[in-house]
Amino acid sequence: MHIKRQLAAGIVLLNIALFSYVYYNAQEQKGYAPVNAQTSNEKDRGYAKTENEYSQTFSSKRPGIQPSKMKNTDDLHNLTANTRKEGIEIHNIDVQQKTRVGPAEFWRPELNLSSLPPGLYKRGKPVFDSLPKTYLPGYKSACWKLKGELKCWPYFYLLGMPKCGTTDLWSKITMHPDVKYTVKEPHWWARVRLGLTLAGLRPSKKAFLVTGNLAGYASRSNEMVQQFKLHPSMKSRLIIGDGSASTFWDNSLWDTWDGKRYEGPEYVTADVINVAQPDAKLIVILRNPVDRVYSDYLYFNPIHIVSVDHFHTMVVEVIDRFNTCLQTMSFRGCTYSIKQIDNQPLHTRLLVGLYAVYVRDWFRVYPRDQLKIMRLEDWHINCTGLLPEVFDFLNLEKKSGKTIAQFCEKKLQNGNKVGLHAIGDMLPKTRKLLEDFYESPNKELSLLLGDDKYLWRT
């Protein structure tokens, strides 16, 4: 009898062990690995246990990755080609991971705040110190109690780029009844959080104290939170967004932390947001960089200054300074050195159009399926086809074709025709100069995205 009891107990324990193995293996396959189990993919995202481990993750010791020798766009292009060829997942280019937040499930992993590299922790200390170990269950957005008040992060970020149709796309996304309207561009992550004013980008202690703290930014969710109190069932539906077109590219204070570093910033805004919101939804809309920079020039500079000749002169100056920078820094480092290279306070901002550098940094920390990247050219001709894709990406309730058509018929927002009508298109020689400047970065981008349409060939 004793032996039979032992045998029965053994069978029960064996079944429990087998069930546990199957369950946790299934969870890991879904991307729900236990928090304390630090996978190689977590290290690639910047969650190495030590600063040394983190630096080795992105070091030139990895096969095919030699960023220290990257002095031009050809090296940048070869870097991506070698990365794909050798199957290295450093940028999550080929890694398709299921996004864990959907309409029927709101499980979120614990935030891994205790083992951040010191440099990364320093970049986001005020944010990280205010975060919980895990967000509250049952909310579609990432919500938590901050000083006793319920606050929620934006569920999605319309990251950029400027003069690529972000305002029009934002206006149509926020027409969905489950997207609570908020001011489009707080510019908090890239600027206000760091004490930068929006106009001159100069440090402002007053701006930081008044609007730069996390509580101020999180208050954007107050109206949505009130809706939750009135209608608790809405917490699984309502979301807000952040449409700041600077979040994707602007890291103008990186040298404050890193000094004159050959490779540019060690950490960028993407790293900080990823720690706080590893499951954030990210949308990027791009445009032919040649057309983008001209639109940028016409929009941000006084009308009495702009002319086709003035634009050409500024383009030549910026390209010359960029090439001079490449003598002492990498292509990435010079791209992020926009405040030293651009014609401030006037604007040309050619370097904003080097999309591949920014895309690569966001791919480094976020799975590919958490970024929806699209082109303004496609948006203009196929709003009724792309808007449902955006709603689906955001796990929003589907809308009928008639409703989508009504959304898309809304007048184009924030177009920039006045300046163009006033002075006409850029000079042919300027366009040729810009096309040559962007040719290699566009090749890099098309390789990253696996789509030749990002070559913008005419």
Q: What does the DSSP assignment read for 38-103?
A: --HHHHHTT--SSHHHHHHHTSTTSTT--GGG--SHHHHHHHHHHHHHTT--TT-SS-----S-BT
Cα angle 303, 340, 419; round to 5: 15
Q: Is residue 218 part of a domain?
A: yes
209 band by pLDDT with thresholds 50, 70 and 90: very low
Its domain, for residue 254, covers 100-455
429 band by pLDDT with thresholds 50, 70 and 90: very high
- Write down the pLDDT at residue 410: 83
The DSSP element (H or E) to which 149 belongs, if any, is strand 149-152
Tokens describing residue 165: 């149709």
Instruction: Write the pLDDT tens digit of every residue in 275-313.
Output: 999 999 999 999 999 999 999 999 888 888 899 999 999
- Whether the pLDDT of residue 96 is over 60: the answer is no
- Write down the pLDDT at residue 50: 33
Assessment of whether the complete model's pTM goes beyond 0.85 = no
Q: Is residue 266 part of a domain?
A: yes
* Number of domains present in the structure of the chain: 1
Percent of the chain with pLDDT over 90: 58
> Higher-confidence residue: 45 or 281?
281
Distance CA(425)–CA(291), nearest Å, equals 10
* 80-94, 279-293, 311-325, range with the lowest pLDDT: 80-94
109 band by pLDDT with thresholds 50, 70 and 90: confident
- Average the pLDDT over 85-99 and give the result: 35
Instruction: Write the pLDDT tens digit of every residue in 240-256.
Output: 999 999 999 999 889 98
Please list, in sequence order, all residues whose beta carbon lies within 8 angstroms of the beta carbon of residue 414, skipping any fewer than 6 positions away: 167, 168
- Average the pLDDT over 40-58 and give the result: 34
* 91-95, 114-118, 265-269, range with the lowest pLDDT: 91-95
35 band by pLDDT with thresholds 50, 70 and 90: very low
- Write down the pLDDT at residue 195: 84
- Write down the pLDDT at residue 421: 62
- Write down the pLDDT at residue 111: 85
Q: Name the DSSP letter for residue 150.
A: E
Residue 417's CATH number: 3.40.50.300
Q: Please report the beta strands in 217-346, taking only residues with DSSP state E, as ranges in sequence order.
A: 241-242, 281-286
- Whether the pLDDT of residue 319 is over 50: the answer is yes
- Round the average pLDDT of the chain to a whole number and report it: 79
Helix axes 73-85, 428-449, angle to 10 degrees: 20
- Write down the pLDDT at residue 64: 29
Helices (H), 327-427: 331-335, 338-341, 355-365, 376-381, 383-393, 401-408, 417-423
Instruction: Write the pLDDT tens digit of every residue in 216-231.
Output: 999 999 999 999 999 9
Q: Is residue 45 part of a domain?
A: no
Helix axes 428-449, 289-300, angle to 10 degrees: 120
| 220-223 long-range contacts, CB within 8 A, separation 24+ | 220/154, 220/182, 220/183, 220/186, 221/141, 221/143, 221/151, 221/152, 221/153, 221/182, 223/180, 223/182
- Whether the pLDDT of residue 155 is over 60: the answer is yes
Distance CA(441)–CA(7), nearest Å, equals 67
> Higher-confidence residue: 96 or 437?
437
Instruction: Write the pLDDT tens digit of every residue in 165-187.
Output: 999 999 999 999 999 989 999 99
Distance CA(330)–CA(263), nearest Å, equals 5
Q: Is residue 134 part of a domain?
A: yes
Q: Is residue 320 part of a domain?
A: yes
